[in-house]
Chain A
Amino acid sequence: MSDRRGGTAAVIERCLAEGRPALIAYLPVGYPTVEGSLEAMRAVVEEGADIVEVGVPYSDPVMDGPVIQAAASTALARGVRVDHIFDAVAAVRDAGATPVVMSYWNLVLRRGVDRFAADLAAAGGAGLITPDLIPEEAGDWIRASDAYGLDRIFLVAPSSTRERLVAVAAACRGFVYTASTMGVTGVRSEVGSSAADLVARLRQVTDVPACVGLGVSNGDQAAAVGATADGVIVGSALVRALTADLAEGGEQTGELRPGLETLRSVTADLADGVRRARSGAN
Chain B
Amino acid sequence: MSETRVPGRFGQFGGRYVPEALIPALEELDEARLKAAVDEDFAAELARLHRTYTGRPSIITEVPRFAEHCGGVRVILKREDLNHTGSHKINNVLAQALLTVRMGKKRVIAETGAGQHGVATATAAALLGLDCTIYMGKVDTERQALNVARMKMLGAEVVAVEHGSATLKDAINEALRDWVTNVETTHYLIGTVTGPHPFPEMVRDFHRIIGEEAREQVEDLTGSLPDAVIACVGGGSNAMGIFHAFVPDEGVRLIGIEAGGEGIDSGRHAARFAGASPGVLHGAMSYLMQDDDGQTIESHSISAGLDYPSVGPEHSFLRDSGRAEYRYATDTDVMAAFELLCRTEGIIPALESAHALAGAIEVGREIAAEVGPEKAGEHVLLVNLSGRGDKDMHTAAAYFGLLPEEKEQALEELEEDEL
Contact = CB atoms under 8 A, between A and B. Distances in A.
Interface of A: 58-63, 65-66, 69-70, 73, 76, 81-82, 105-111, 131-134, 136-137, 154-161, 164, 168, 179, 182-184
A239 B21 CA distance: 24
A65 B177 CA distance: 8
B36 interface: no
B168 to A, nearest CB: 12
Which A-B residue pairs are the 5 nearest by beta carbons?
A110-B294, A157-B21, A183-B181, A107-B294, A62-B176
Contacts of A65: 177
Nearest to B182: A182
Given A58-B295, A62-B176, A110-B293, A160 B17 contact: no
A168 B292 contact: no
B24 A62 contact: no
Given A58-B295, A62-B176, A62-B177, A134 B20 contact: yes
Interface string B257-297: 00000000000000000000001111100001010111110
Given A59-B295, A76-B295, A160 B20 contact: yes
B136 to A, nearest CB: 17
Contacts of A179: 20-21
Interface residues of B, number: 35
A110 B181 contact: no
A60 B279 contact: no
Interface of B: 15-25, 163-164, 169-170, 173, 176-177, 180-184, 279-283, 288, 290, 292-296
B210 to A, nearest CB: 30
A142 to B, nearest CB: 15
B164 A160 contact: no
A109 B24 contact: no
B294 A160 contact: no
Contact of B180 (A63, A73, A161): A63
B20 A59 contact: no
A61 B169 CA distance: 11
Given A110-B279, A160-B21, 9 more contacts: A59-B295, A62-B177, A76-B295, A106-B290, A132-B19, A157-B19, A179-B20, A179-B21, A182-B182
Given A157-B19, A157-B20, A159-B21, A60 B281 contact: yes
A60 B181 contact: no
B179 to A, nearest CB: 9
Given A81-B293, A107-B294, A164 B281 contact: no
